[in-house]
């Protein structure tokens, strides 16, 4: 997301600050920065031109909890990148609580939201006049605009998983599918039997 935001900002002259409010995300970003020998060619080309692929003017790392709470109270145009998981915990819950009831805000999900999670409730009920989500026992109306993007998952899709299994020198005698929704698990099970 940081990488893509920098590319979009160049084209759109986007000037709002971008806050990275995810401790694990910050750690991964720092590790990525140190391992430039593993970057793809596009990232290397950017760095060679003096444009670091995941660092830009206006990028702010939110380190401590006090800074997180200050950010939750901030006003004005900004982008907040916070690991969402399924919106069941962590810093994202505070940001959602502070912004979901304001129609000036946009909430962008870039990951899958499983059934029975607040994240799924948000994407399902957004845009409905009676749409709401319950976070930590608090009922919040969904007035923010909610968007979903695909393509950022670190997981293989069903075809990728089936190809991975077929490529094994010795295929397992049994595979148990325990993650994901029933319809998707059934489809993958069918692919694996072929």
Q: How would DSSP label each residue in 141-175?
A: E--SEEEE--S--SS--HHHHHHHHHT-SS--S--
Question: Of 5 and 76, which is predicted with more confidence?
Answer: 76
Establish if 153 belongs to a structural domain: no
Q: What is the b/e burial string over 135-151, where b = at least 16 CB atoms within 10 angstroms of the residue's CB? A: beeeebebbbebeeeee
pLDDT > 70? residue 9: no
pLDDT of residue 53: 77
Residues 120 and 164 in one domain: no
pLDDT of residue 153: 61
Residues 23 and 91 in one domain: yes
pLDDT > 70? residue 1: no
pLDDT of residue 31: 92
Q: How far apart are CA 100 and CA 142, in angstroms?
A: 5
Residues spanned by the domain of 59: 2-148
Residues 16 and 111 in one domain: yes
Residues 134 and 166 in one domain: no
Q: What does the mean pLDDT of the chain come to?
A: 86
The mean per-residue pLDDT over the stretch 30-53 comes to 88
pLDDT of residue 52: 82
Question: Of 36 and 7, which is predicted with more confidence?
Answer: 36
Domain count, the chain: 2
Task: Work out the percent of the chain whose per-residue pLDDT is above 70.
Answer: 89
Between CA 47 and CA 52, with CA 51 as vertex, the angle to 5 degrees is 65
Q: Per-residue pLDDT tens for 134-173?
A: 999 999 999 999 998 876 666 667 888 888 888 888 988 8
């Amino acid at each position: 997301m940081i990488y893509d935001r920098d590319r979009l900002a160049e084209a759109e002259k986007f000037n709002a600050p971008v806050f990275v409010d995810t401790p694990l995300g910050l750690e991964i970003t720092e590790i990525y920065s140190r391992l430039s020998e593993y970057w793809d060619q596009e990232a290397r080309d950017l760095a060679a031109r003096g444009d670091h692929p995941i660092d830009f003017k206006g990028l702010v790392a939110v380190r401590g909890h006090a800074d997180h709470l200050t950010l939750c109270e901030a006003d004005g145009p900004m982008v907040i990148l916070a690991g969402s998981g399924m919106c069941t915990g962590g810093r994202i819950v505070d940001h959602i609580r502070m912004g979901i009831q304001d129609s000036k805000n946009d909430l962008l999900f870039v990951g899958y939201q499983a059934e029975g999670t607040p994240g799924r409730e948000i994407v399902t009920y957004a845009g409905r006049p009676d749409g709401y989500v319950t976070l930590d026992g608090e009922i919040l109306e969904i007035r923010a605009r909610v968007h979903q993007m695909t393509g950022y998952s670190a997981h293989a899709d069903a075809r990728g998983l089936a190809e991975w299994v077929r490529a094994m020198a010795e295929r397992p005698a049994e595979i148990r599918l325990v993650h994901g929704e029933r319809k998707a698990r059934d489809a993958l099970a069918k692919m694996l039997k072929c």
